[in-house]
Amino acid sequence: MEMLEQHVREGRVSFHVPGHHNGTVTDDSLPTAFNKIMPYDLTELAHLDDLHHAEGIIQQGEEALGTLYQSKSKWLVNGSTVGNWSMLAATVKRGERVYVQRNSHKSVWNAIEWLGLEPILLTPELERGSGLPTVVSLRTVEAAVTQYPGGKALLLTSPTYYGDMADVRAISRFLQTLTIPLLVDEAHGAHLIHPNLPNRSAIFEGASAVVQSAHKTLPAFTMGAWIHYKEDINESRLFHALSSFQTSSPSYLIMASLDHARAYLENLSDRDWSLIQTSHLAFIMEMRRAGFTIKVGDDFTKMTVLTYPKNGLIFSRHLSSIGIDIELAAEDHVLFCLPFRELKTQEIHHWVKLIKNASQHVPFIDEDETIYPFPMTEPVSRLHLIKEDTHVVRLPFDEAIGRVAAETIIPYPPGIPWILKGETVTDEKIRVLKEWISLGRNLQANRHVMIKQIDVIVEEF
């Protein structure tokens, strides 16, 4: 951050990329805020170091990050997506088996497909009452290794979108006896470092590699992330993967924000931590006093409002109409990501009043609407292998039940697949898809899905 400031203060002349040349190539149509930012959008000049061969200020920033997380660490400028790809590429080779949490982010499934890995699916536990997916248990991990031996790595998501955290210490201890590295997609857990927290980042609890989206919970720009790893990770394979999957023109704005996010976290005092957690609890208690049913997981920055019998999707639209934007909405709940700072009492009271008013205009869920928060499957399963020359046919939803899906369908957010390519299409999944389409829920899928058709494989006997 300081080096960028110095560079701009020197008023240097740019005969290099990017094409705005320190913000000198512009016109009056560009907002003033963008004009101010442009001089900081730089490239790999000698004194600014190179992300892919760090020897100067970037290396210093990454070393400071590693010291904070008691690991080796690297900055990521293409989000946790590139971290997930790189963790898998560094530990599992094409054709080899990997154990994967079923409700992993779409970036994990994309990596598995393109890297040619064989996934063994681990179903998370469901929370009693809400039915929301939580984390994979040690019991399920043990069953997976027994039923499908030979896996080269295990990838978990912890914390989940809803703030639930796996027993990483117990799982990592078990895997260490089998020399299986534990990889953790910890996109929402970059802030969980204080030693007094009951659940800390997985990098402190025995994981071999952890990817975190700093931009999700800390003051970093979107796409700013980092990866932490231990000695059992093949560093040359990891570096090769990071260099291959990340842009060769990394954003210095993103990298500077990553350094700032690290400093922000590092400079928090015990009193700051106490104020943040206490104020978050105060917000949750005020919401409960206002009549809301609240789910709180292990991560204190996540607050899930269980809206049933009212419609959460419509609730989110009402909130948006009054200027409150939330992280995620489903039929029976909405998710708030709370700012990682002290929330002021005046703010809390104002927010709760607005949220309560918005809720009063939300209709009840129709009796014939079915709420299925997560597909019920066996604890451990595997996907059907779909080769490039596999015969695929497009069928109406109802005719596809019992067939193997040839495409993935993802509600976004949260970006967790509802139907995976290679997974059997069930009546439950089709009923939910129909409901989501009728309610206008955002789906990342091919256009034909929106007219209730899906590609399935033709099984030859």
**Pairing of β 182-185 and β 209-212:** parallel
Q: Identify the pLDDT of residue 330.
A: 86
* 372 in any annotated domain: no
**Pairing of β 72-76 and β 328-330:** unpaired
Alpha-carbon distances, residue 77 vs 153, 229, 240 (angstroms): 24, 17, 15
Cβ atoms of residues 211 and 185 within 8 Å: yes
Q: What is the CATH number of the domain that holds 306?
A: 3.90.1150.150
Residues 248 and 115 in one domain: yes
Is the four-CA dihedral 94, 106, 240, 208 of positive or negative sign? Answer: negative
* 366 in any annotated domain: no
Residues 352 and 424 in one domain: no
Q: Is the pTM of this model over 0.75?
A: yes
Residues 100 and 59 in one domain: yes
Q: Pick from 430, 411, 425: which is nearest to 330 by CA? A: 411
* 292 in any annotated domain: yes
> Who contacts 133 (Cβ-Cβ below 8 Å, separation ≥6)?
102, 103, 124, 125, 126, 127, 160, 373, 374
**Plot region of 249 (φ>0 → left; ψ -120 to 50 → alpha; else → beta):** beta
Residues 183 and 280 in one domain: no
Q: Identify the pLDDT of residue 376.
A: 59
Half-sphere exposure at residue 189, Cβ-oriented, CA atoms within 13 angstroms? 32
The residue out of 302, 327, 360 marking a domain boundary is 360
Q: Identify the pLDDT of residue 411.
A: 85
In the chain, the number of structural domains is 4
Residues 97 and 172 in one domain: yes
Q: What is the CATH number of the domain that holds 394?
A: 3.90.105.10
DSSP 56: S
Residues 69 and 115 in one domain: yes
Residues 261 and 274 in one domain: no
* 43 in any annotated domain: no
Q: Identify the pLDDT of residue 250.
A: 94
Residues 343 and 417 in one domain: no
Ranges of the chain with pLDDT below 50:
368, 370, 372, 461
Residues 255 and 158 in one domain: yes
* 377 in any annotated domain: no
Distance separating alpha carbons of residues 261 and 194, to the nearest angstrom: 15
Q: Identify the pLDDT of residue 372.
A: 47
Residue span of the structural domain in which 203 resides: 49-266
The residue out of 266, 301, 335 marking a domain boundary is 266
* 44 in any annotated domain: no
* 374 in any annotated domain: no
Residues 258 and 157 in one domain: yes
List the structure tokens of 401.
């039940």
The residue out of 233, 266, 299 marking a domain boundary is 266
Residues 92 and 201 in one domain: yes
Residues 262 and 176 in one domain: yes
Bridge partners of residue 363, in order along the sequence = none
* 200 in any annotated domain: yes
Half-sphere exposure at residue 326, Cβ-oriented, CA atoms within 13 angstroms? 27
